[in-house]
Structures are given as C-alpha cells and as structure tokens.
Amino acid sequence: MFQAFILSAGLGTRLEPLTNSKPKALVEVNDVSLLEHNIQKLISYSCKHIVINVHHFSEQILEHISKKHYSCDIFVSDETELLLDTGGALKNARNLFDFSKDILIHNVDILSKIDFNSLYLSHKEKSSLATLAISQRETSRYLLFDENQMLGGWENIKTGERIIVKDDIDLKPYGFSGIQLIRPELIDLIDNKEKVFSIIPEYLKLAKSYPINSYIHSKDIWVDVGTINKIKEAEELISQ
C-alpha cells in the first residue's frame, strides 16, 4: 500500500539528559523505544519497506535494527556527516525509495493512534501530491488551510511572520502533526539546491501549483514526545 520514511536523525536536545548517551529514536515509552513503536505500527498496516535516517549515535540505531529482526525491509539513509533537516533528508534518501508506492513520512518522536488506512484513502481520493496530518491545537507555528482544506500558508505566532501562497480569505490555522503522505515524484519537484533545508517551505512553494491537502485528526490520540515531561503523558495515552 505505502512505504515509509521515519525521520530519526534529530539530536533530541529537548530530551537531554536522556539523549546524552542515546539517540532520540531509542528513548523509551513504556519500555519500548520510539523507533520500535513506530516501526511496529507501520508493520501492522502491512508496510514492508521502511527508510530510516540516522545521525546522532547512529551506530546504536544500526545495532537496534540488526538485533530486532523486524518483519520488513529497513533501509538506512546516512546523515552522520551532516544533519540535513526534513527536506534535505528526503532528497538525500531518494534512491532508497520504491517510486511505485506513496511514502508515509513520520517523525520518530510522534506517537499516535492515527488510522493510516484512513489517511491513505483520503490522500488517494483527493489525488494529492502530499497530504499533511493536522489537528486543531495550540502551538507556536501553524499551517493555514483554505475552505477546501488545501494548504494556503504558514504563520509563526511568536514572531508574527506569515507566508501566504493563496488567497488568505478565511484561511484556518492547524497544528502540523509530523506525519505526511506524499507521492514519490514530489521529491523531484523540489527545486531547493541546498543540502540542508526544511520540507515545509517546499510544500508552500508546491501548493501554488499542486494539490497539497490535509487530513484532520483532531479527535485521535497524538503526542509529541519531544521533551522529558511528555514521556509520562505518552505512556498514559498510548496505553489507552
């Protein structure tokens, strides 16, 4: 149905001191690493092709993969020399993907009960180039969507910065959930020549000419395990 790219290369500075000796991907929630939580969820949706990028304590992730013997093919995108951010990571991993299948991109520090089948069906029904999982919640940065739930802009509440790519009448703000489904050809439509760059500005550029849609999941359990105090919250929510 789809393949996956788990963004696992981050430094996890907000999870220190845990990440002083291990990568963020191997921080545990209910005695299971974030990486394993997400790999097992993907496998439960019959995902058999998973790409993982590595940077911080990369050797620990490689050892984890070799010991676990997951029931899927796992490919590693090496960023040990330079952390590439989300957009750079996607371009760097290009040759590891099967271009006949859509790619579910998932931040490793996100745990949720989002239904990936429902996300995939929404993506296909709308013939989207990309479908971004979003929810109504308070955050410092928002993606802005029009009445048809098409991406129209971005704003930073703290700085007041706004980027609008469509008519801004009645654009509604949503928090981005760190999960997205893309058609693989999107990678070759990115015209950023830098090595290190974020994917969000690229979505905004592409939204001027291509369907960048949303998948609203405001009622689903979702937690960003980006800080230590979120670990306990995640343990309680994921156990439900």
Range of the domain at 76: 2-238
Number of domains the chain contains: 1
Distances (CA, A) of 39 to 36, 116, 189: 5, 13, 28
What's the predicted TM-score (pTM) here? 0.96
The tokens for 95 are 């040759």
CA distance 48 to 70: 10
Q: For each of the chain's 240 residues, which pLDDT tens digit applies?
A: 899 999 999 999 999 999 999 999 999 999 999 999 999 999 999 999 999 999 999 999 999 999 999 999 999 999 999 999 999 999 999 999 999 999 999 999 999 999 999 999 999 999 999 999 999 999 999 999 999 999 999 999 999 999 999 887 789 999 999 999 999 999 999 999 999 999 999 999 999 999 999 999 999 999 999 999 999 999 998 877
Q: Supply the CATH number for residue 92's domain.
A: 3.90.550.10
The tokens for 161 are 């910065």
**pLDDT value of residue 74:** 99
**pLDDT value of residue 111:** 98
